[in-house]
Structure formats: C-alpha cells, structure tokens
C-alpha cells in the first residue's frame, strides 16, 4: 500500500463500448459495399475511397493541430465521414474534388460547429451537396461495365423503364455512386450494425418501409407494375446506403425510438416526393439533410416520460 488510491465518483465500472469501437464497427459494416464498388468500377474507385478517407482524417488532424486542440482522429469518426463521402460520388469524380469534399465535410460542417457531436447535419451528405452544386458534370456522369450510362433512377425519372435488371441492381452491377450500388452488401452491413447493436432498427425500417409503401401506392395509382417501378426505386440510388448508414448517424438523428421512427417516416416521404416530383432523380441525401435540420424539434417533441410524472399522491 505504498501508492495512493484512486478516488472518483461512481460508477467505477464502464461498458466496453467506446466511440472508437462504434466507429470501427461502422467501417467494418461499410467494407463489403466498398469492395463491390471497386469490383464494378475499377481501381479508380479505390483511389477515390483512399483520397476521401485520407483527406478527412488529415484535415481533422491539421485543423485540431492548428487550433491547438486535442487531436481526436483515433476515434475514427473522421474516417467514417471520408469513407461515406467517397461512397457518395460516382467514379467519374476527380480525386481532388473528393479531397475538397472531405475537407469541407470535416472543417466546415463538423469542426467549425464544435467538432464531433456538435454538427447539425451529416458532414458527408452536406459535402456531397456541395460537390453536386460545384461540379455538376463529373458528379452526374455514371458508368456501368465501362460504358457511360444513365442511372436506373434517371431512366425512371425520364418516364421510361430501367435497362438494369433487378438482380444487377441488387448485387450492384449498375450505374451509380461508388458505395451505393450493391443493395445486397449494404443490407448485409446494416444487419451487422443491428446485430452489434451499433444502430437500432427504427430509422432504417421506418425509412425504407415508408418509402416502399409510398412507391407501391404510386405504382398502382399510375398503372405501373411493382417490379418495373417500385422495386428499382427501392434498390436504386442512395436509399440503402442512406437508410442504414447516413440517416442513422448518431449526431444528426433523434435520440428516442419514437423520434427515430418519425425521422424515418419523414425521410421516406421526402425521398419519395423528391424522386417523383422534384427536379432530381435521386432524393435520399437531401431528404436526410432536411430531416437532420428538424432533429432538434423531434427530440423536443419526443422526450422520454419522467418516472413519477402526473402520478397521484397517496392521501
């Protein structure tokens, strides 16, 4: 007993989960979809993924050094942001565009608002919106099998039918952004997150469910078949990536289960409306960004009931 004892407030045991382990699980869950992206779009996709991650981590490191803050890149949250941004661009994007996008996500959207936990919207999605506005051409040119092609959603938007088969869309052999094409592997990653209890089911189920119901009703109301319209809508674009990985971002989604269901329904409705009647063929990212903005309101409206509220006193 030579050394002095540690004295601190209770509790004296902690759950093994850390921010780093949670973010690490997200990276693991995203891995298969990225491998599919590289397989279908070639090594350029790998380059963009690497640039996205390195730029995000590097800019967080440099920003924190420059502002004399504790460097927190080891929590892996910047790596997740960089990876998600790279997944959200087509393989035609230039590497420096991805680099700028990642830096924008980290410095402007995340760090300037106070760093991890304080950003109002999902950094990767906000950066994607900036890239869309800044370099519309390279952000909207898609390839499949090495040939320039419209995305299935763009084909549907133009009023036609999609040339991609449902199977191709399911496994990811279709035109789209690097990490969004393989619905199969994204769902697999999502299941991993659910099993590991990194995320809860409420947002993905409410989001995808609302969207599916809305699209089914629309299909029937307009005389389209489900497999020519509703299913390609479900498998195409950023819906799966958005529902499992972006809408569930802790920082910008509601806290309670009830709030998360409202959030999911809202995102599902907005995605449907944008895709059907908006100017863009795709609406997942904008609908999540819009729902991010109302998260504080949802939190306020769905706060948990406090034990003993409105309970009568005995005598």
Partner 1 sequence: MKALTFKGGVHPLHKQHEGKNLSKDAELRVFSPAMVVIPMSQHIGAPCKPCVAVGDQVLLGQLIGEPCGFVSSPIHASVSGKVIAVEPRPHLNGSKVMSVVIENDGRDELDPSVKPKGTLDSLSQEELKKVILEAGIVGMGGAAFPAHVKYAIKPEQKVDYLILNGAECEPFLTSDHRMMLEQSEKIALGAAILKKASGAPVCIIGIENNKPDAIASMKEAIMGYDGLSVAELQTKYPQGGEKQLIKAVTGREVPRGGLPIAAGCIVSNVSTAAAMADAVTSGMPLVRRSVTVTGSVKEPSNFIAPVGTRYSDLFEACGGFDGEPAKIISGGPMMGLSVADPDIPMTKGTSGITVFSEQVYKPVLESNCIRCARCVEACPVGLEPYILDAAALRSNVDVLQAKDAMSCINCGCCTYVCPAKRNLAQSIALGKKILTKATKN
Task: Please give the Cα distance from 287 to 278 (Å, whole number).
Answer: 11
Nearest partner of 169 among 156, 155, 157, 152, judged by Cα: 152
Q: Determine, following the binding rule CB under 8 A, whether residue 9 of this chain makes contact with partner 1.
A: yes
Question: What is the SS3 assignment for 28?
Answer: helix
Is the Cα torsion angle 200, 201, 207, 210 positive or negative in sign? negative
Q: What are phi and psi of 88, to 5 degrees?
A: -95, 15
Q: Which of 37, 82, 115, 268 touches partner 1 (CB under 8 A)?
A: 115
- x/- string (CB under 8 A) for partner 1, residues 17-56? xxx-xx----------------------------------
Nearer to partner 1, 37 or 123 (CB): 123
300 binds partner 1 (CB under 8 A): no
Strands 147-148 and 143-144: what pairing? Answer: antiparallel
Binding of residue 67 to partner 1 (CB under 8 A): no
Q: How far apart are CA 247 and CA 190, in angstroms?
A: 12
Cβ distance 48 to 91 under 8 Å?
Answer: yes
Closer to partner 1 at the Cβ: 210 or 248? 248
38-46, 116-124, 183-191, 262-270 -> range binding partner 1 (CB under 8 A): 116-124
Least distance from partner 1 to the Cβ atom of residue 106, Å: 14
Region near partner 1 per CB under 8 A, out of 11-19, 42-50, 160-168, 203-211: 11-19
Q: Between the CA atoms of 176, 260, 206 and 160, what dihedral angle is there, to the nearest 10 degrees?
A: -30
6 scored as a contact of partner 1 (CB under 8 A): yes
Contacting partner 1 within 175-194 (CB under 8 A): none
Please identify which residue in 116, 129, 144, 181 interacts with partner 1, judged by CB under 8 A: 116
Alpha helices in the chain (DSSP H): 19-41, 43-66, 77-87, 95-103, 123-134, 136-139, 152-157, 166-171, 183-195, 202-221, 231-235, 239-241, 257-277, 284-301
Applying CB under 8 A, among 251, 269, 290, 294 the residue interacting with partner 1 is 251
Q: Considering the complex, state which of residue 34 and residue 115 has its C-beta at the smaller distance from partner 1.
A: 115
Contact 156, 229 (CB under 8 A): yes
Q: How far is the CB of 307 from partner 1 (least distance, A)?
A: 5
Asked if residue 66 binds partner 1 (CB under 8 A), the reply is no
Phi first, then psi, for residue 180 (nearest 5°) are -105, -10
Which stretches of the chain bind partner 1, using CB under 8 A? Answer: 1, 3-15, 17-19, 21-22, 72, 75, 77, 115-118, 250-251, 255-256, 303-309, 311-315
């Amino acid at each position: 007993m030579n050394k002095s004892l540690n004295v601190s407030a209770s509790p004296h045991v902690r759950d093994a989960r850390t921010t780093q382990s949670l973010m690490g699980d997200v990276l693991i869950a995203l891995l298969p979809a990225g491998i599919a992206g590289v397989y279908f779009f070639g090594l350029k996709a790998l380059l963009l993924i690497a640039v996205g991650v390195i730029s995000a981590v590097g800019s967080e490191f440099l920003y924190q050094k420059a502002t004399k803050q504790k460097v927190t890149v080891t929590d892996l949250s910047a790596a997740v942001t960089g990876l998600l941004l790279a997944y959200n661009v087509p393989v035609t994007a230039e590497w420096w565009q991805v680099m700028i996008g990642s830096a924008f996500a980290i410095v402007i959207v995340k760090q300037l608002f106070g760093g991890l936990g304080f950003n109002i919207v999902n950094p990767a999605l906000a950066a994607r919106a900036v890239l869309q506005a800044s370099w519309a051409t390279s952000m909207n040119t898609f390839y499949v099998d090495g040939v320039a092609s419209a995305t299935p959603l763009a084909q549907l938007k133009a009023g036609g039918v999609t040339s991609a088969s449902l199977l191709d869309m399911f496994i990811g052999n279709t035109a789209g952004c690097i990490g969004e094409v393989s619905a199969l592997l994204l769902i697999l990653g999502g299941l991993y997150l659910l099993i590991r209890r990194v995320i809860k089911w409420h947002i993905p189920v409410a989001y995808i469910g609302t969207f599916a119901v809305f699209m089914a009703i629309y299909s029937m109301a307009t005389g389209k078949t489900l497999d020519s319209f509703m299913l390609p809508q479900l498998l195409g674009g950023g819906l799966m990536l958005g529902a499992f990985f972006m809408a569930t971002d802790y920082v910008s989604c509601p806290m309670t289960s009830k709030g998360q269901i409202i959030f999911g329904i809202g995102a599902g409705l907005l995605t449907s409306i944008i895709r059907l009647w908006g100017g863009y063929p795709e609406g997942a990212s904008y609908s999540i960004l819009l729902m991010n903005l109302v998260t504080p309101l949802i939190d306020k409206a769905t706060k948990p009931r406090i034990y003993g509220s409105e309970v009568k006193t005995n005598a």
